[in-house]
A and B are shown apart, each in its own frame.
Chain A
Amino acid sequence: MDRVTRKPRLATVWLGGCSGCHMSFLDLDERLISLAGRVELCASPLTDYKDFPETDITLVEGAVANQEHLEHIRTVRRRTKVLVSLGDCAVTGNVTAMRNIFKLEDVLDRAYRQTATVVIGIPSGNGAVPRLLERVQPVHEVVKVDHFIPGCPPSADAIHAFVMDLLEGRTTSPQGRFG
Chain B
Amino acid sequence: MAERIVIHPVTRIEGHAKISIYLDDSGAVESAQFHVTEFRGFEKICEGRPFHEMPGLMSRVCGICPVSHVLASCKAGDAILGVEVPRAALLQRRLVNYAQLLQSHALSFFHLSSPDLLLGMDSPPEKRNLFGLLDRDLDFARRGIRLRQFGQRIIELVGGKRIHPPWGAPGGVLTAMNAAGRDEIRGWIAEALESIDLALGRLKGLLDSLAAEIEHIGNFPTLFLGLVSPEGTLEYYDGLIRIVDSEGNLLADGLDPHRYATYLGEASEEWSYMKFPYYKPLGYPGGKYRVGPLARLNIAKSAGTQRADRELHEFKQRSTGAVCQSFHYHLARLIEMLHAVERIDELTADPDLLGEHVRAKAGQNRSEGIGCCEAPRGTLFHHYQVNDSGLIEKVNLLIATSQNNLAMNMAVEQTARYFVSSRSLQEGMLNRVEAAIRCFDPCLSCSTHAIGQMPLVVELRGSGGELLDRVER
Interface residues of A (CB under 8 A from B): 12-24, 26-27, 29-30, 32-33, 36, 41, 43-52, 65-66, 68-69, 72, 94-96, 98-99, 102, 106-108, 110-113, 115-124, 126, 128-130, 132, 152-153, 155-156
Contacts and interface: CB of A to CB of B under 8 A. Distances in A.
B268 A72 contact: no
Please list the 10 inter-chain residue pairs (A to B) with the smallest Cβ-Cβ separation, ordered nearest first: A20-B63, A121-B270, A117-B265, A45-B451, A118-B267, A14-B13, A128-B271, A48-B125, A112-B268, A107-B41
B45 A99 contact: yes
Interface in B159-203: 162-164
A129 B449 CA distance: 13
Contact of B37 (A19, A45, A68, A112): A68
B275 to A, nearest CB: 6
A18 B275 contact: no
Contact of A45 (B14, B62, B138, B278): B14
B268 A119 contact: yes
A61 B352 CA distance: 40
A110 B43 contact: yes
A51 to B, nearest CB: 5
B266 A116 contact: yes
B142 A30 contact: yes
Interface stretch (B143-151, B223-231, B288-296): B143-151
Interface string B274-318: 010010100010000000000000000000000000000000000
Contacts of B126: 47-49
Contacts of B473: 48, 50
Contacts of B38: 16, 66
A46 B451 contact: yes
Contact of B268 (A19, A29, A66, A121): A121
A128 B129 contact: no
A118 B396 contact: no
26 contacts: A20-B60, A20-B62, A23-B64, A29-B145, A30-B145, A33-B141, A46-B112, A47-B126, A48-B453, A49-B10, A49-B125, A50-B457, A51-B455, A66-B39, A72-B11, A94-B60, A95-B60, A99-B45, A111-B39, A111-B268, A112-B268, A117-B266, A119-B267, A119-B268, A123-B272, A126-B270
B210 interface: no
A30 B146 contact: yes
Contacts of B35: 128-129
A178 B188 CA distance: 32
A120 B62 CA distance: 27
Given A24-B163, A32-B145, A98-B45, A46 B130 contact: yes
Interface residues of B, number: 70
A20 B473 CA distance: 27
A45 B11 CA distance: 9
B350 interface: no
Contact of B13 (A13, A23, A106, A123): A13
Contacts of B129: 41, 46-48
Contacts of B14: 14, 45
A8 to B, nearest CB: 15
B19 to A, nearest CB: 11
B325 to A, nearest CB: 25
A29 B130 CA distance: 12
A14 B125 CA distance: 20
B445 A17 contact: yes
B93 interface: no
B146 A29 contact: yes
Contact of B57 (A43, A72, A95, A155): A95
Contacts of A22: 63, 451
Contacts of B453: 47-48
Contacts of B396: 115
Contacts of A130: 12, 37
Interface string B417-448: 00000000000000000000000000011000
Interface in B1-24: 10-15, 20
Nearest to A118: B267
B220 interface: no
B140 interface: no
Contact of A33 (B10, B36, B142, B163): B142
Contacts of A113: 268
Given A99-B40, A129-B271, A50 B10 contact: yes
